[in-house]
Amino acid sequence: MDSTATSLIVESLTRAIVEHRLQPGTKLVEQKLADQFGVSRTLVRQALYRLSQNRLITIEPARGAFVAAPSTEEARQVFEVRRMLEAGMVRAFVASARAADIKALQTHIAQEKQAVKRDDVPVRTELLGDFHVRMARLMHNEVLAQLLGDLVSRSALITLMYQTSKEAAHSHEEHEAIFQAIKARDADAAAALLDSHLCHVEQALNFKQAKAPTP
Protein backbone atom coordinates (compact mmCIF):
# COMPACT_ATOMS: atom_id res chain seq x y z
CA MET A 1 0.00 0.00 0.00
CA ASP A 2 2.79 2.39 0.94
CA SER A 3 4.62 1.56 -2.30
CA THR A 4 1.44 2.17 -4.32
CA ALA A 5 0.83 5.53 -2.62
CA THR A 6 4.42 6.62 -3.24
CA SER A 7 4.17 5.63 -6.91
CA LEU A 8 0.92 7.60 -7.25
CA ILE A 9 2.58 10.73 -5.88
CA VAL A 10 5.58 10.26 -8.20
CA GLU A 11 3.28 9.77 -11.20
CA SER A 12 1.09 12.78 -10.33
CA LEU A 13 4.01 15.15 -9.80
CA THR A 14 5.78 13.91 -12.92
CA ARG A 15 2.63 14.56 -14.96
CA ALA A 16 2.32 18.05 -13.47
CA ILE A 17 5.91 18.80 -14.49
CA VAL A 18 5.51 17.33 -17.99
CA GLU A 19 2.29 19.29 -18.54
CA HIS A 20 4.02 22.47 -17.35
CA ARG A 21 1.68 22.95 -14.37
CA LEU A 22 4.72 22.96 -12.08
CA GLN A 23 7.35 25.51 -13.07
CA PRO A 24 11.14 25.13 -12.65
CA GLY A 25 12.16 26.36 -9.22
CA THR A 26 8.74 25.75 -7.63
CA LYS A 27 9.08 24.66 -4.00
CA LEU A 28 7.36 21.39 -3.12
CA VAL A 29 6.16 21.57 0.49
CA GLU A 30 5.95 18.16 2.15
CA GLN A 31 2.98 18.94 4.42
CA LYS A 32 0.92 20.44 1.59
CA LEU A 33 1.58 17.38 -0.56
CA ALA A 34 0.75 15.06 2.35
CA ASP A 35 -2.58 16.84 2.83
CA GLN A 36 -3.28 16.84 -0.92
CA PHE A 37 -2.68 13.09 -1.31
CA GLY A 38 -3.97 12.09 2.13
CA VAL A 39 -0.74 10.35 3.13
CA SER A 40 2.05 10.77 5.66
CA ARG A 41 4.99 13.09 5.13
CA THR A 42 7.19 9.99 5.16
CA LEU A 43 5.57 8.73 1.95
CA VAL A 44 5.83 12.19 0.39
CA ARG A 45 9.51 12.27 1.30
CA GLN A 46 10.01 8.87 -0.37
CA ALA A 47 8.30 10.14 -3.52
CA LEU A 48 10.41 13.30 -3.60
CA TYR A 49 13.56 11.22 -3.24
CA ARG A 50 12.55 9.11 -6.24
CA LEU A 51 11.87 12.24 -8.29
CA SER A 52 15.28 13.59 -7.32
CA GLN A 53 16.86 10.37 -8.62
CA ASN A 54 15.14 11.08 -11.95
CA ARG A 55 16.55 14.63 -11.91
CA LEU A 56 13.07 16.15 -11.99
CA ILE A 57 13.50 17.82 -8.62
CA THR A 58 16.41 18.91 -6.46
CA ILE A 59 16.54 18.47 -2.69
CA GLU A 60 18.53 21.16 -0.90
CA PRO A 61 19.60 20.71 2.76
CA ALA A 62 17.68 23.00 5.12
CA ARG A 63 15.67 24.43 2.20
CA GLY A 64 13.57 21.57 0.89
CA ALA A 65 12.57 20.19 -2.51
CA PHE A 66 12.27 22.23 -5.71
CA VAL A 67 11.31 21.45 -9.29
CA ALA A 68 14.62 21.20 -11.14
CA ALA A 69 15.94 23.97 -13.37
CA PRO A 70 18.26 22.24 -15.89
CA SER A 71 21.36 24.09 -17.03
CA THR A 72 22.03 24.72 -20.72
CA GLU A 73 24.76 22.08 -20.69
CA GLU A 74 22.41 19.51 -19.15
CA ALA A 75 19.80 20.40 -21.77
CA ARG A 76 22.24 19.74 -24.59
CA GLN A 77 23.33 16.46 -23.02
CA VAL A 78 19.73 15.27 -22.62
CA PHE A 79 19.01 15.78 -26.32
CA GLU A 80 22.33 14.21 -27.30
CA VAL A 81 21.49 11.08 -25.32
CA ARG A 82 17.98 10.98 -26.76
CA ARG A 83 19.29 11.13 -30.33
CA MET A 84 21.68 8.25 -29.70
CA LEU A 85 19.12 6.14 -27.87
CA GLU A 86 16.10 6.74 -30.08
CA ALA A 87 17.93 6.13 -33.36
CA GLY A 88 18.58 2.55 -32.30
CA MET A 89 15.09 2.19 -30.86
CA VAL A 90 13.25 3.21 -34.03
CA ARG A 91 15.36 0.84 -36.14
CA ALA A 92 14.56 -2.01 -33.76
CA PHE A 93 10.88 -1.08 -33.82
CA VAL A 94 10.75 -1.11 -37.63
CA ALA A 95 12.37 -4.56 -37.61
CA SER A 96 10.06 -6.09 -35.01
CA ALA A 97 6.73 -4.23 -35.24
CA ARG A 98 3.65 -6.32 -35.94
CA ALA A 99 0.61 -5.02 -37.80
CA ALA A 100 -1.10 -4.46 -34.45
CA ASP A 101 1.83 -2.35 -33.26
CA ILE A 102 1.65 -0.17 -36.37
CA LYS A 103 -2.07 0.27 -35.83
CA ALA A 104 -1.54 1.23 -32.17
CA LEU A 105 1.03 3.86 -33.16
CA GLN A 106 -1.34 5.15 -35.85
CA THR A 107 -4.06 5.54 -33.21
CA HIS A 108 -1.63 7.51 -31.07
CA ILE A 109 -0.83 9.83 -34.00
CA ALA A 110 -4.56 10.41 -34.55
CA GLN A 111 -5.01 11.30 -30.87
CA GLU A 112 -2.11 13.75 -31.12
CA LYS A 113 -3.69 15.41 -34.14
CA GLN A 114 -7.01 15.89 -32.35
CA ALA A 115 -5.35 17.30 -29.22
CA VAL A 116 -3.34 19.77 -31.30
CA LYS A 117 -6.46 20.74 -33.23
CA ARG A 118 -8.40 21.34 -29.97
CA ASP A 119 -5.44 23.29 -28.55
CA ASP A 120 -5.70 21.00 -25.52
CA VAL A 121 -2.32 21.88 -23.99
CA PRO A 122 -2.12 19.29 -21.18
CA VAL A 123 -3.25 16.39 -23.39
CA ARG A 124 -1.18 17.34 -26.43
CA THR A 125 1.92 17.85 -24.26
CA GLU A 126 1.52 14.38 -22.79
CA LEU A 127 0.81 12.74 -26.15
CA LEU A 128 3.67 14.45 -27.99
CA GLY A 129 6.10 13.27 -25.34
CA ASP A 130 4.59 9.81 -25.07
CA PHE A 131 4.97 9.17 -28.81
CA HIS A 132 8.64 8.40 -28.18
CA VAL A 133 7.92 6.16 -25.18
CA ARG A 134 5.05 4.39 -26.96
CA MET A 135 7.39 2.60 -29.36
CA ALA A 136 9.41 1.16 -26.47
CA ARG A 137 6.23 -0.05 -24.78
CA LEU A 138 5.00 -1.65 -28.00
CA MET A 139 8.34 -3.50 -28.13
CA HIS A 140 7.61 -4.69 -24.56
CA ASN A 141 10.94 -3.26 -23.42
CA GLU A 142 10.06 -1.77 -20.04
CA VAL A 143 13.66 -0.81 -19.24
CA LEU A 144 13.84 1.27 -22.41
CA ALA A 145 10.36 2.69 -21.82
CA GLN A 146 11.27 3.80 -18.31
CA LEU A 147 14.58 5.29 -19.42
CA LEU A 148 12.92 7.18 -22.27
CA GLY A 149 10.09 8.30 -20.00
CA ASP A 150 12.63 9.87 -17.64
CA LEU A 151 14.40 11.62 -20.53
CA VAL A 152 11.12 12.88 -22.00
CA SER A 153 10.11 14.27 -18.61
CA ARG A 154 13.43 16.08 -18.32
CA SER A 155 12.95 17.38 -21.87
CA ALA A 156 9.59 18.85 -20.82
CA LEU A 157 11.34 20.86 -18.11
CA ILE A 158 13.97 22.00 -20.59
CA THR A 159 11.43 23.18 -23.16
CA LEU A 160 9.52 25.01 -20.44
CA MET A 161 12.66 26.95 -19.53
CA TYR A 162 14.19 27.53 -22.95
CA GLN A 163 11.58 27.21 -25.69
CA THR A 164 10.52 30.58 -27.05
CA SER A 165 7.22 29.45 -28.59
CA LYS A 166 5.12 26.32 -28.62
CA GLU A 167 5.92 24.02 -31.53
CA ALA A 168 3.14 21.51 -30.96
CA ALA A 169 1.73 21.48 -34.50
CA HIS A 170 5.20 21.20 -36.04
CA SER A 171 6.17 18.37 -33.68
CA HIS A 172 3.01 16.49 -34.60
CA GLU A 173 3.76 16.88 -38.32
CA GLU A 174 7.24 15.46 -37.77
CA HIS A 175 5.80 12.56 -35.75
CA GLU A 176 3.44 11.87 -38.66
CA ALA A 177 6.39 11.73 -41.08
CA ILE A 178 8.30 9.38 -38.77
CA PHE A 179 5.23 7.14 -38.53
CA GLN A 180 4.86 6.99 -42.32
CA ALA A 181 8.48 5.86 -42.63
CA ILE A 182 7.88 3.21 -39.95
CA LYS A 183 4.72 2.05 -41.72
CA ALA A 184 6.72 1.74 -44.96
CA ARG A 185 9.32 -0.35 -43.05
CA ASP A 186 12.03 2.16 -44.02
CA ALA A 187 14.33 2.05 -41.01
CA ASP A 188 16.91 4.45 -42.47
CA ALA A 189 14.30 7.10 -43.22
CA ALA A 190 12.61 6.68 -39.84
CA ALA A 191 15.93 7.05 -37.98
CA ALA A 192 16.92 10.10 -40.05
CA LEU A 193 13.54 11.77 -39.53
CA LEU A 194 13.61 11.08 -35.79
CA ASP A 195 17.11 12.53 -35.47
CA SER A 196 16.03 15.58 -37.46
CA HIS A 197 12.96 15.99 -35.25
CA LEU A 198 14.99 15.99 -32.04
CA CYS A 199 17.47 18.40 -33.59
CA HIS A 200 14.61 20.75 -34.49
CA VAL A 201 13.27 20.67 -30.92
CA GLU A 202 16.72 21.48 -29.54
CA GLN A 203 17.32 24.21 -32.12
CA ALA A 204 14.04 25.88 -31.09
CA LEU A 205 15.43 26.42 -27.58
CA ASN A 206 16.75 29.86 -26.71
CA PHE A 207 19.47 29.43 -24.11
CA LYS A 208 19.97 33.20 -23.82
CA GLN A 209 16.45 33.89 -22.64
CA ALA A 210 15.64 31.16 -20.15
CA LYS A 211 12.56 31.61 -18.00
CA ALA A 212 13.66 32.52 -14.48
CA PRO A 213 12.87 29.83 -11.90
CA THR A 214 10.25 30.69 -9.32
CA PRO A 215 11.97 31.91 -6.11
What is the C-alpha to C-alpha distance for residues 126 and 16, in angstroms, rounded to an integer?
Answer: 10
In this structure, which topology does domain 2-67 adopt according to CATH?
Arc Repressor Mutant, subunit A (1.10.10)
Residues facing residue 65 across a β-bridge: 28, 59
Split at pLDDT 50, 70, 90, the class of 169 is confident
The confidence score (pLDDT) of residue 165 equals 46
- Greatest alpha-carbon pair distance for the chain in Å reads 56
* Domain range summary for the chain, segments of one domain joined by +: 2-67, 72-203
**How many other CB atoms are there within 10 angstroms of residue 28's CB atom?**
19
Split at pLDDT 50, 70, 90, the class of 65 is very high
pTM of the shown model: 0.77
Please write the tens of the pLDDT for every residue from 9-31: 998 998 888 777 888 899 999 99
Tell whether the model's pLDDT for residue 118 goes beyond 90: no
In this prediction, what percent of the chain has a pLDDT beyond 90? 61
Mean pLDDT calculated for residue range 81-97: 96
**How many other CB atoms are there within 10 angstroms of residue 195's CB atom?**
16
Task: Identify the CATH class of 72-203.
Answer: mainly alpha
